[in-house]
Structure 1
Amino acid sequence: MIWDVLNIIGTIAFALSGVIVAMEEDYDLIGVYILGLVTAFGGGAIRNLLIGVPVSNLWAQGSLFTIAIIAMSLAFFLPKLWVNHWKKTGIFFDSLGLAAFSIQGAIYASNMEHPLSAVLVAAALTGTGGGMIRDILARRKPLLLQKEIYIAWTMLAGLGIGLNIVTGTVGTLLLFLLIVLLRMLSVHYQWTLPRRKVTVNK
């Protein structure tokens, strides 16, 4: 039950983030739905392709699609009720989605007995793939390529699950809370990964 709730929160959060971008880019209603659905389910589709899970499994999540469409419809037709609130809490809900989906992706790959490298990739792409597709379609620089730490926190899910450090419901929930906390702290304190710029002499 707890995991189902987290999955719903993640789906709604990512769908709404797609709606925000679509409305900022002045997309019409169909564009809003497409960008929202891609953000919410794109990461799972990419994960399934890479680790050998039939992509058609996504269509078994009919209830989540319904929830996402309802959330997007309310967001589009009643923006004044939530846009300002979203600006204050959007990072928090995005963190919930990132944590929930990265752990879900790691568990998928681990249950299929894939190597650690595949578990890491599954965690990263499930957690960030939808947002990456959203930003590319909207012609924006993907969030995972910007200065702030984003995709790195999904590695914790991959390592924890892939190395069997995290097991059971309690362990999974603790991992979930850790990723959410670190994501929030990295935004608040503006943590960044090491970077280096190289100038090529012509």
Structure 2
Amino acid sequence: MIWDIFNYIGIAAFAISGAMMAMEETYDLFGVYVLGFVTTFGGGVIRNILIGLPASMLWEQKIAIYTALTAITITIITPMLWLRMWKRLLVLFDAIGLSAFSIQGALFAVDQRLPIHAIMVASVLTGIGGGLIRDVLAGRKPLLLKEDVYAVWSMLSGFIIGLHKEITDVELFFVFILVVTMRMISVHYQLKLPLKIVWHN
């Protein structure tokens, strides 16, 4: 039950972030729903394709789909001033979503008996893939590839789970808390990866 709650919080957060970006780019109503939906589920679909699972598994997640559509609808009818106030709280929800989605992706790969590097890729794609697609569709440079350390924490969860494939629920919970904590610390202190490497002769 607790994992379901975390997962649905993440679904709502990702759906809201996609919808908000679409509204900032003055997309029409259909565009807002598309961007919110893609942000939520795009990474999981790509992950499924890469690890040999059917992309159609998405349509089996009825509660998740309804959660995303509800979150998008609420975002649309909420005054923009309130949405700006929500942004700080959305960072926490986003961190919860990143952690829950990353762990989910890693576990899917473990079930497929994939090697650790594939588990890490599955974790990253599930955690940040939707955000990458969102940025591209919105015509923005993906911050996740530019300077944000967002992907690092997603990769960390995949690495830990890949090392301990028989990981227990208690250990998974500690991984979850670790990723959420590191994500919030990186936001608070504005941690970034180096923009470029200077090579010396």
Query: Is TM more than 0.5 here?
Result: yes
Aligned counterpart, 1:49:
49
> 1:175: Cα distance to partner?
0.6
> 1:33: Cα distance to partner?
0.3
1:34 aligns with 2:19: no
- Three-state SS of the structure 1 residue aligned to 2:22 is helix
CA–CA distance in structure 2, aligned partners of residues 160 and 152 of structure 1: 12
CA–CA distance in structure 2, aligned partners of residues 79 and 30 of structure 1: 18
Aligned counterpart, 1:162:
162
CA–CA distance in structure 2, aligned partners of residues 65 and 33 of structure 1: 12
Amino acid at match of 2:33: Y
Amino acid at match of 2:72: M
TM-score by length of 2: 0.94
Is the contact made by 2:146 and 2:195 (CA closer than 8 Å) also made in structure 1? no
Is the contact made by 1:17 and 1:36 (CA closer than 8 Å) also made in structure 2? yes
> 1:94: Cα distance to partner?
1.2
Is the contact made by 1:160 and 1:166 (CA closer than 8 Å) also made in structure 2? no
- Three-state SS of the structure 2 residue aligned to 1:110 is helix
Aligned-residue Cα RMSD (Å) equals: 1.6
Aligned counterpart, 1:14:
14
Aligned counterpart, 1:127:
127
Aligned counterpart, 2:95:
95
> Is the alpha carbon distance of 1:85 and 1:166 closer, same or farther for their aligned partners in structure 2, counting shifts above 3 Å?
farther
Listed as ranges, the gaps of 5+ residues in structure 2 are none
CA–CA distance in structure 2, aligned partners of residues 194 and 71 of structure 1: 35
User: Deviations 1:18-71 (Å, cap 9, x if unpaired)?
Assistant: 011000000111000000000000010010010001111111001111111111
Aligned counterpart, 1:23:
23
Amino acid at match of 1:57: M
CA–CA distance in structure 2, aligned partners of residues 127 and 52 of structure 1: 18
> Is the alpha carbon distance of 1:165 and 1:47 closer, same or farther for their aligned partners in structure 2, counting shifts above 3 Å?
closer
Greater mean deviation of Cα atoms: 62-71 or 164-173 = 164-173
Amino acid at match of 1:89: L
Is the contact made by 2:116 and 2:162 (CA closer than 8 Å) also made in structure 1? yes
Aligned counterpart, 1:65:
65
Q: List, as ranges, runs of 4+ consecutive aligned residues in structure 1 with deviation greater than 4 Å.
A: none
Aligned residues: 199
CA–CA distance in structure 2, aligned partners of residues 68 and 157 of structure 1: 24
CA–CA distance in structure 2, aligned partners of residues 5 and 36 of structure 1: 19
CA–CA distance in structure 2, aligned partners of residues 51 and 164 of structure 1: 19
Is the contact made by 1:166 and 1:172 (CA closer than 8 Å) also made in structure 2? no
Listed as ranges, the gaps of 5+ residues in structure 1 are none
> 1:80: Cα distance to partner?
4.7
